[in-house]
Amino acid sequence: MKLTYTEIKDLIKMTDRDSVQAFINGEWNDTNYDIRTEEQARESVYDMYRDDEYMLGAFNASFLQDYICLDEETIEVLQKSEAYEAIGKAVMNSGNFEEMMDEYIQVDGFGHALSSYDDNYEEYNDLIIVRMN
């Protein structure tokens, strides 16, 4: 997808025309922002959590119970015991990982997972734009 200079400038508040033109040409390398298609952003979230069972186990117990064979109370007991990796393994073994991640993205968006700056993100057509620093 080709965006106009004005569209990109408005999206990421750029003032440097050369940076915008570099983005349009596929040569943009600004570490302040990360721009991906929605599909790429979704895959990045999958990859981030697929490789981190501890973080998977730290999700809210009421959310997790819909995707693994443990009830909310049991999950909370395990979390209080700091058994986050065990819960994460249960998620990975459940076969519901992608469904869970899709629901997480729908509820929380991409910013929390992908933005290292302020947990926010912007959407433009199928682009996800996050500020990194």
pTM value is: 0.74
Domain boundaries, the chain: 38-113
Q: Say which residue, 69 or 16, is predicted with more confidence.
A: 69
Residue 83 in 3-state DSSP?
coil
For residue range 102-120, list pLDDT tens digits in order: 999 999 888 778 765 566 6
Residue found by looking up tokens 């990796």 in the block: 85
The C-alpha angle with vertex 89 and arms to 104 and 62, in degrees rounded to 5, equals 40
For residue 23, the model assigns a pLDDT of 65
Question: What is d(CA 72, CA 86) in angstroms, rounded to the nearest whole number?
Answer: 15
| Residue 25, number of CB atoms within 10 A of its CB | 8
For residue range 45-95, list pLDDT tens digits in order: 999 999 899 999 999 999 999 999 999 999 999 999 999 999 999 999 999
For residue 90, the model assigns a pLDDT of 97
Q: Is 99's pLDDT higher than 80?
A: yes
CA dihedral 34, 35, 41, 44 (to 10 degrees): -40
Q: Can you read off the two tokens belonging to residue 97?
A: 């990982």
Q: Say which residue, 98 or 115, is predicted with more confidence.
A: 98
Please say whether the beta carbons of 38 and 128 come within 8 A: yes
Instruction: List, edge to edge, every strand of the sheet that includes 33-37.
Output: 33-37, 127-131, 121-124
Please say whether the beta carbons of 49 and 98 come within 8 A: no
